[in-house]
Amino acid sequence: MITKVLIANRGEIALRVIRACRELGIKSVAVHSTADSFAMHVRMADEAVCIGPPPADRSYLSIPAVVSACAITGADAVHPGYGFLSENAAFAQVLEEHGITFIGPSSEHIRLMGDKVAAKDFMKQQNVPCVAGSSGPVPSADQAMAVAAKIGYPVIVKAAAGGGGRGMKTVRASEDMEFAFLSARREARAAFGSDLVYIEKFLETPRHIEIQIFGDGRGNAVYLGERDCSLQRRHQKLLEEAPAPGLGEAQRASIGEISANAAASINYSGAGTIEYLFADGEFNFIEMNTRLQVEHPVTEAIFGVDLVREQILVASGEPMSIRQEDLKIRGHAIEARINAERLPNFEPCPGLVATYHAPGGLGVRMDSAIYSGYSVPPHYDSLIGKLVVHGLDRPTAIARMRRALGELIVDGIETTAPLFERLLEEDDIAEGRYNIHWLENWLKDQHG
């Protein structure tokens, strides 16, 4: 059994892991930069180690610093959270070589799914439905145009080594391809250290639906329903809900079984998310995230499963306690990502939090690491909290989210909370009539 977990992360996800460790009777170690010396995860962990200055590449992204912190504290396992080193195959491999348990999949599986082209090829072999596109990386703009001519415009040029909207360019006509292709390669090289790109058909009005899977590393895997993550701005998710509005039970079971079987076929271990674009009643695979997702609390809410606890137990060699036949959806859950950003342009808004009050009551969960008197640093992601609500049905969950947003107080800095208050007034949101382009189109209509 794991005895001490080092959390290679910060903010609310670090707190999330600390809580799971405490309930399991496992000691926790927080690592932090000098900018996070007074962060809540540092206060709440059993031990804390400073691993470097504010720039992430000299602290949270420094593999030697994290491994050294393990050696100093005697931590026998690392939970990577999400972001930072969570999908870094080299990091997982170094831990494996040092006899430290990585709470997640093997470095081999991270590497496989981190290569978007190889991942797509693998999924095709597992009969997972995939969007039409190139059979591998496309080395030149001329070849990109040839692929686009075959599958039809519009297409999207995507970085093979990354995600999150970086290295992605939509192309609607052949005369625009060369500029978009070269631009995507430059962005990909800067963001991921690789300029390999591939081509996919651009779907005009799809929804972004992801399947939560969990494997025990022994050839068994389950699926825990789906999440609709279609409300996005610049490919960044802002609001997620589960289950997806309008998705039928037969569709859910079919794509869920396909996704779980693909994970089981490679003895996948731990939490993972297989992401699809859903259009015209069909699922199209886009990528797999080999980690815990930001939006995992909505899945936990509708199934009553602690995914982080399960991650730790499976990494310890314990059998998976989740059985497919026991996984029954109960109610509806919605998550709003509260960012320290100034509307309407979503500019980062770090600074001193003068007053903070978290909403509460039945069916309300606020995952946050801020507190009154805390200073949000300018060096990291602007996410400061995840407001999650759960209700017996979707209308109840929406009403509960409205109420919870009204209770949330964050004085001293500006946040995106007012955006969600306005969104929940829209008929399209209330009725679940939205897709991955809806939010950006709505923002244009609101602000020009």
Active site residues: 291
Candidates 53, 2, 55, 56; CA nearest to 29 is 2
- How many Å is the maximal CA-CA distance in the chain? 61
Q: In which element (H, E) is residue 174 found?
A: none
CA distances, 434 to each of 32, 47, 166, 277, 428 (Å)? 39, 45, 23, 13, 6
CA distances, 251 to each of 192, 209, 301, 431 (Å)? 35, 12, 21, 19
Joined tokens for residue 102: 């990585």
User: What residue type is assigned to position 339 of the chain?
Assistant: N
Beta-sheet strand order (sheet of 197-201): 168-171, 155-159, 197-201
Q: Could you give the CA distance from residue 201 to residue 261 in angstroms, rounded to a whole number?
A: 26
Joined tokens for residue 390: 């759960």
Half-sphere exposure for 277 (CA within 13 Å, toward CB):
17
CA distances, 446 to each of 343, 440, 443 (Å)? 12, 10, 5
Q: Could you give the CA distance from residue 82 to residue 309 in angstroms, rounded to a whole number?
A: 15
CA distances, 161 to each of 85, 123, 186, 197, 356 (Å)? 14, 16, 13, 8, 39
Half-sphere exposure for 373 (CA within 13 Å, toward CB):
2
Asked if residues 338 and 408 have their Cβ atoms less than 8 Å apart, the reply is yes
